[in-house]
Amino acid sequence: MPFELVIFDCDGVLVDSEPISNRLLAEHLTAAGFATSTEDSFERYMGGSFASMLDDVRSRFGREVPAGFADRYHADLYATFDAELEAIAGVEELLDGLGVATCVASSGAPDRIRHVLELTGLLARFEGRIFSAVEVEHGKPAPDLFLHAAAVMGAAPRACAVVEDSPKGVAAGVAAGMTVFGYAGRTPAARLAGASHVISDLRELPALLAGGGG
């Protein structure tokens, strides 16, 4: 079956935000007394929501992050995004040449998704087709977000392709019954082993989509 919809994760697939966000998250957690390395942050929190990160910290350390933590982290994150964030190389050409309906489905908050897409010049390509985990009961690795995006876009799950760079995102796409393409731009390919295909360059995607993911 030809694909009717390609669902893109945002962080790490469209915008090169993961090194920034995981570095800063590790720094802020450590400064607050929750010793976390950048590698820990990538391993534990990449692809998940901020709320799920807070749940994990509470479980690991037995206490809550201090008041104002979220505001301080996000202020630092946004300032650093403004100074450093770039789109993933080649993504503009990919999107403009796909010829298939697209949307974004991200664990990020709606304002963050829009902010990073606007910063990198990608917002116009997804306006009105942006979905956040806050819209569903369960975030990734549950399938809820991808199924919600497909339903709103009018596409059957089996006719959807998902492009993800995190194990949580891959698991969510598989659970939704969609064909999952793992993007190993910064993620070790072995961590995306549940995907139907793992690619290291987004320029590989059009040929795979044209072949129906086979």
Task: Verify cis geometry, omega within 30 degrees of 0, for the bond prior to 141.
Answer: yes
Q: Are 61 and 76 in contact (CB under 8 A)?
A: no
- pLDDT-based confidence at residue 213 (cuts at 50, 70, 90): low
Q: What is the DSSP string of 16-82?
A: --HHHHHHHHHHHHHHTT----HHHHHHHHTTS-HHHHHHHHHHHHSSPPPTTHHHHHHHHHHHHHH
Q: What is the mean pLDDT of residues 85-93?
A: 95
The DSSP call for residue 105 is E
pLDDT at 158 over 80: yes
Q: For the sheet with 179-183, list strands across it.
A: 130-132, 101-106, 5-8, 160-164, 179-183, 197-199
Per-residue pLDDT of 21-37, as tens digits, reads: 999 999 999 999 999 99
Q: 3-class DSSP state for residue 106?
A: strand
Nearest to 13 by CA among 212, 195, 148, 150: 195
Domain ranges of the chain: 5-17+86-210, 18-84
What is the pLDDT, as a whole number, of residue 2? 82
Q: What is the DSSP string of 144-189?
A: HHHHHHHHHHT--GGGEEEEESSHHHHHHHHHTT-EEEEE-SSS-G
Reply yes or no on whether 9 is catalytic: yes
Fold of 5-17+86-210: Rossmann fold (3.40.50)
What is the pLDDT, as a whole number, of residue 214? 58
Q: Please give the share of the chain, as a percent, with pLDDT higher than 70.
A: 99
Fold of 18-84: DNA polymerase; domain 1 (1.10.150)
Mean pLDDT of the chain: 95
- pLDDT-based confidence at residue 1 (cuts at 50, 70, 90): low
Q: Which of 9, 16, 144, 165 is catalytic?
A: 9
